[in-house]
Amino acid sequence: MMNESTAHAARTPLGGSGISVRPVGLGLMGMSQFYGEADPDTSVATIRNAIELGVELFDTSDYYGASSATPGRPVAGFGHNEELLGRALQGRRNRAIVATKFSARPGPGGRSFFDGRPEYVKAACAASLKRLGTDRIDLYYYHRLDPAVPVEDTVGAMADLVAEGKVRAIGLSEVTPEILRRAHAIHPVAALQSEYSLWERGVEAEVLPECRRLGITLVPYSPLGRGMLTGAFGRGTEFGRDDFRSTLPKFQGDNFDHNRQLVDELEEFAASTGNTAGQIALAWLLAQPHDIVPIPGSRRLACISANLAATSVRLSADDVARLGVLFDPARIKGGRYGALNTLPDEPEVTPRTEYHTQGPAVPAAPLDKEHTP
């Protein structure tokens, strides 16, 4: 049965694409990698039940499943997450807005790279359509930039896919305002996906204002701080080797204890309003003066339902300001990623050099081990 608050929630447009969605989506990465093992059949059932609750925007990537939080450990496989979503959407496709991504590719020795060549864009789209079991992708993201290929060339190929009816709208992920402008000049960009939450606010200074100027919807991943902002992790929590958080600075030692104190205050505020800490964190995002569609990830239906209920939480301007001060970036301890999540500063072991326009070919950039949505 559809969540009552979601059923009556205002819809949020995805840029100027003509697509609109209910304002809280579902990130699927954790069903295939980074947060321990997940049962595929259970994941499929969870996605189907999420549809019944009222979730519309489902976020995946062809890369989800191709990596592990611990280098060298077995992985589900490239395309695994898309295949899960494809299974779940059988007989339900018209009830979902499907967002997926391309460019991250696994290479020998556990190394990965980005590929933005126009021919790869089209090949990747065809493969994703097959895995998803659909004839169209609603929102197709360029996952991370390939520095060897001008963004205009990559976006031009994405525009071709729109013209062919294979893609309805295009998006980018983790790019600068300059790249946004250049891409948008080739074809309207509907959405930008970047990390944004109470405790990670790097997009506020330049990226968010540019999205607002261009009419691009922001789709925050990790809007609950990888679970920290829900209050689920108490002091002394230890994350296993297969859990990505075990390598993140915000979750380590004194940083964790300090950040947990801020979450304590968030929980106190939430309790005074009759909501959970996670619902308040999502409501804070939804209260920002911009079109925002957070995509919290969860493998538990109860959490998905609670996240959807955040759409009915109303925060005053004073509440929004108070929470912003509580989680002022200067008060957060620990960066986004640690040394273990970035490949060494050395030449890519499997350089891709076949695409260039002028001058010598440039190897594709290595993929940070975080492989975020």
Give the catalytic positions in this structure: 64
Q: What angle do CA 143, 146, 147 make, to 5 degrees?
A: 140
HSE at residue 293, side-chain half, CA atoms within 13 A, is 29
Q: What span, in angstroms and rounded, lies between the C-alpha atoms of 298 and 275?
A: 18
Buried-exposed string 246-267: b where 16+ CB fall within 10 A, e elsewhere: bbbbbbbeebbeebbebbeebb
Q: What end-to-end distance do the CA atoms of the chain give, in Å?
A: 28
Helices (H), the chain: 4-7, 40-53, 80-88, 118-132, 151-163, 177-186, 207-214, 253-273, 277-286, 301-309, 317-326
Q: What are phi and psi of 130, to 5 degrees?
A: -65, -45
CA distances from 270 to 25, 130, 199, 278 (A): 22, 44, 16, 9
Nearest to 234 by CA among 209, 212, 251: 251
State how far the Cα of 333 lies from the Cα of 116, in Å rounded to an integer.
Answer: 35
Q: Round to whole Å and give the CA distance between 304 and 87.
A: 19
CA distance 346 to 44: 40
Residue type, 24: V
Copy the structure tokens of residue 366.
Answer: 């290595």
The two most distant CA atoms of the chain are separated, in Å, by 62
**C-alpha closest to that of 50 among 2, 14, 98:** 2
| Residue of 237, 249, 211 whose CA lies nearest to 342 | 249
C-alpha atoms less than 13 angstroms from C-alpha of 261 in its C-beta half-sphere: 8
DSSP state of 211: H
